[in-house]
Amino acid sequence: MSGPDLRNIPNDVLFNEVKRRFDCSFKPKGKVILTGPPGSGKGTQAPQLSQENCWCHLSTGDLLRDEVSRGTELGKKAKEIMNQGALVSDDIVIGMIKNKLKEPICSRGAIFDGFPRTVPQAEALDKMLEEEGSKIDKVVEFNIPDEILVERITGRRVHLASGRSYHVKFSPPKVPDVDDISGEPLIQRKDDTAEVLNKRLQAYHSTTTPILNYYSQKGLLATINANQPVKTVWEDLLRNISP
């Protein structure tokens, strides 16, 4: 079977991709789980880590949407289940992760963002990776007091059309509740209210504590202080996942 036709790809794009792959060959390989409550900052650090180490960034939500949109066998099963208002089974999610890890973009390593959420999921992930001759190398917990998270998240304001984000205290717009660029109103998302956040935090703590214990017993858990400047958290993250 012939490969993809590269002749129509602009030279600079092709060169940059070849250079990126060459540079990636000198980066460490690894599979890392990032866990932390909503607003802890792992969503900021994960894409940066993906770029830095040439690891793919795995979000189960993104995987589900991709499989469903492409109409794969797993995607069709997942769509049928979701249309019934039920949760997609762990077996299907693990299958999607297994498929993704076989893609070239994941050949150097992977960052698991928001998965696993339960001990059975962690055990299933370990089993699948072991069958593939691989394993989780590190689990990093982004630790931050709940009261700080409430302040961070309830202060968020967004401009829906552009996705621009502000914070009433830490990064306020020039005019309160008005987008700097368009002059259109900003909103607080429903998920960013104190009531919704407190429920999410309760759910996070009840499900995540057993997960942290599971990986701690395996000697894989590292905890970093997420209530620091982004650059400091980044440095702590790199230090904790270094071989």
Q: Which residues are the active-site residues?
A: 42, 117, 156, 189, 200
Distance CA 112, CA 108 (A): 14
Report the DSSP pairing between strands 56-59 and 156-158: unpaired
Q: How many CB atoms lie within 10 A of CB 14?
A: 12
Sheet holding 109-113, edge to edge: 56-59, 109-113, 30-35, 138-143, 221-225
CA atoms within 13 A on the CB side of 88: 22
Distance CA 147, CA 2 (A): 57
Which whole-number Å values give the CA distances from 189 to 150, 163, 165, 216, 237, in the listed order? 14, 12, 11, 35, 29
Contacts of 78 (CB under 8 A, 6+ apart): 64, 67, 68, 88, 92, 96
Residue with tokens 């208002």: 85
Angle between helices 146-154 and 194-217 (to 10 degrees): 140
- Check if the beta carbon of residue 242 is closer than 8 Å to that of residue 28: yes
